[in-house]
């Protein structure tokens, strides 16, 4: 299949040379590893943008101790880019303004970018103008071959550092070879790779491919495998001259909810990886519990149809969102999904952070 012509390179006027200078302290946070929630979209009942609750969500992630947020990604709803919606820049801008005014610490601002090269570069330029640190590059480009995807990533990398994304096929992803991931890692401005095929075989393939690349030591691994978050973070993959490869952190839709508990969990995982036996036992016990919780939130029984609505439902119950409205009114919870979310929240009290949210909600909404 031939590669669409827009993948051949950036449009006229695209900046060239080194990236436009994402702050090194934010990229250091990305390299060390962090909880990075995928930021949802807050809407009023009529589908218009709810800026007050959108800002409250960003404040929640800041207060939770997350290391960054990813905005304009799948959880934010790709439809924000549609001309009749017109929310791509406003959503990025509001998050950046809130973070810059209130973070008080290095905090990674990741912007999602998608489409063929012209669109992806334009979206990266918008993000760069708003002070974002890196771009999470969607691989869902119809008709593109692996060379075309690499050319696109190279062009976007001239604007901002790039985070690669191996997306599961159930929500629009595709198979990408180990050779592709080694080559992607060796692009000069690749900062990280988010591995989210929801497949153990493909996850191992990508980790090996990244480890084999010349720039392996400069590229962080992030789990997006919401079906086995703890398994990824606890696993030393292979052995190289520099020791085993570990996932540094997670960039996850699951971590858009119960985020302060996710930060505590990552701290516990680090203790377990450092040899704390009690922490290892706790984490191993919580591994299937978090997977069970994700099956409810992401609507695995409904083939992921209610995954965004499930995230919204958790946030609605906590008062952070007023509703579960999506840009497409037909995108809602599947039958029985609300009951499943209630079941896992009750079954695993370590997972939830309702008391934390209740304590600060009024301030976040002010």
pLDDT digits (tens, 9 = 90+) for 322-362: 999 999 999 999 999 999 999 999 999 999 999 999 999 99
Per-domain boundaries in the chain: 19-268
Q: What do you get for the CA distance between the two ends of the chain, in Å?
A: 53
Please report the pLDDT score of residue 172 as a whole number.
74
Please report the pLDDT score of residue 6 as a whole number.
38
Beta strand ranges found along the chain (DSSP E): 35-37, 68-71, 108-113, 134-137, 162-167, 190-196, 220-223, 237-240, 243-245, 249-252
Nearest CA among 313, 273, 284, 292 for reference residue 226: 292
- Cα-based angle 35, 193, 115 (whole degrees, multiple of 5): 105
Give residues with Cβ within 8 angstroms of 328, minimum separation 6. Answer: 79
Please report the pLDDT score of residue 13 as a whole number.
32
Nearest-angstrom CA–CA distance, 225 and 196: 4
Nearest-angstrom CA–CA distance, 178 and 175: 10
DSSP 5-49: GGGGSPPTT---SS-S---HHHHHHHHH--EEEBP---B-TTS-B
Map tokens 């990025």 to a residue: 92
Nearest CA among 230, 241, 314, 225 for reference residue 265: 230
Q: Which helix (H) or strand (E) holds 109?
A: strand 108-113
Please report the pLDDT score of residue 23 as a whole number.
57
Please report the pLDDT score of residue 285 as a whole number.
98
Which pair of structure tokens corresponds to residue 165? 């994304």
Q: What is the pLDDT of residues 290-321, one digit of tens each?
A: 999 999 999 999 999 999 999 999 999 999 99
Nearest-angstrom CA–CA distance, 332 and 305: 8
Is residue 157 within 8 Å of residue 136, measured between CB atoms? no
Tens digit of pLDDT at every position of the chain (366 positions): 333 333 433 333 333 333 334 457 999 999 999 999 999 999 999 999 999 999 999 999 999 999 999 999 999 999 999 999 999 999 999 999 999 999 999 999 999 999 999 999 999 999 999 999 999 999 889 889 999 999 999 999 999 999 999 988 777 778 899 999 999 999 999 999 999 999 999 999 999 999 999 999 999 999 999 999 999 999 998 756 677 899 999 999 999 999 999 999 999 999 999 999 999 999 999 999 999 999 999 999 999 999 999 999 999 999 999 999 999 999 999 999 999 999 999 999 999 999 999 999 999 999
Nearest-angstrom CA–CA distance, 283 and 224: 18
pTM of the model: 0.91
Which pair of structure tokens corresponds to residue 202? 């493909």
Q: Which helix (H) or strand (E) holds 137?
A: strand 134-137
CA distances from 81 to 76, 85, 122, 181, 253 (A): 11, 7, 12, 27, 19
C-alpha 210: how far from chain center: 19
Is residue 76 within 8 Å of residue 45, measured between CB atoms? no
Give residues with Cβ within 8 angstroms of 45, minimum separation 6. Answer: 322, 323, 325
Nearest-angstrom CA–CA distance, 288 and 299: 16
Nearest-angstrom CA–CA distance, 18 and 228: 36
Is residue 112 within 8 Å of residue 70, measured between CB atoms? yes
Nearest-angstrom CA–CA distance, 292 and 308: 17
Percent of the chain as helix, strand, coil, to the nearest 5: 50, 15, 35
Cα dihedral 201, 202, 206, 207 sign: negative
* CATH class label, 19-268: alpha beta
C-alpha 81: how far from chain center: 18
Is residue 103 within 8 Å of residue 58, measured between CB atoms? no
């Amino acid at each position: 299949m031939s590669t669409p012509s827009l993948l051949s390179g950036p449009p006229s006027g695209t900046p060239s040379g080194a990236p436009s200078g994402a702050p090194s302290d934010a990229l250091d946070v990305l390299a060390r590893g962090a909880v990075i929630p995928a930021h949802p979209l807050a809407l009023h009942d009529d589908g218009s943008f709810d800026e007050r609750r959108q800002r409250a969500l960003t404040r929640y992630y800041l207060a939770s101790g997350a290391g960054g947020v990813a905005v304009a990604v799948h959880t934010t709803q790709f439809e924000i880019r549609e001309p009749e919606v017109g929310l791509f820049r406003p959503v990025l801008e509001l998050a950046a303004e809130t973070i810059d005014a209130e973070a008080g610490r290095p905090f990674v601002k990741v912007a999602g970018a998608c489409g063929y090269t012209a669109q992806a570069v334009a979206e990266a330029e918008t993000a760069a103008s708003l002070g974002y640190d890196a771009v999470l590059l969607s691989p869902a480009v119809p008709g593109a071959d692996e060379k075309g995807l690499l050319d696109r990533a190279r062009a976007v990398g001239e604007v901002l550092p790039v985070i690669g994304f191996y997306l599961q096929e159930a929500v629009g992803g595709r198979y990408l070879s180990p050779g592709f991931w080694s080559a992607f890692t060796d692009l000069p401005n690749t900062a990280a790779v988010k591995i989210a095929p929801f497949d153990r075989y493909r996850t191992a393939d990508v980790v090996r491919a990244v480890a084999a690349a010349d720039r392996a030591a400069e590229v962080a691994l992030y789990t997006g495998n919401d079906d086995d978050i703890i398994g990824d973070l606890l696993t030393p993959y292979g052995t190289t001259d520099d020791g085993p490869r570990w996932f540094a952190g997670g960039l996850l839709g699951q971590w858009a909810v119960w985020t302060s508990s996710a930060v505590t969990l990552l701290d516990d995982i680090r203790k377990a990886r450092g040899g704390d036996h009690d922490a290892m036992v706790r984490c191993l016990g919580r591994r299937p519990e978090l997977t069970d919780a994700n099956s409810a939130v992401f609507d695995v029984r409904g083939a992921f149809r209610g995954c965004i609505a499930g995230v919204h439902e958790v946030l609605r119950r906590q008062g952070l969102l007023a509703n579960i409205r999506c840009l497409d009114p037909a995108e809602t919870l599947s039958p029985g999904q609300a009951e499943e979310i209630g079941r896992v929240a009750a079954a695993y009290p370590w997972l939830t952070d309702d008391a934390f949210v209740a304590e600060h909600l009024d301030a976040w909404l002010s």
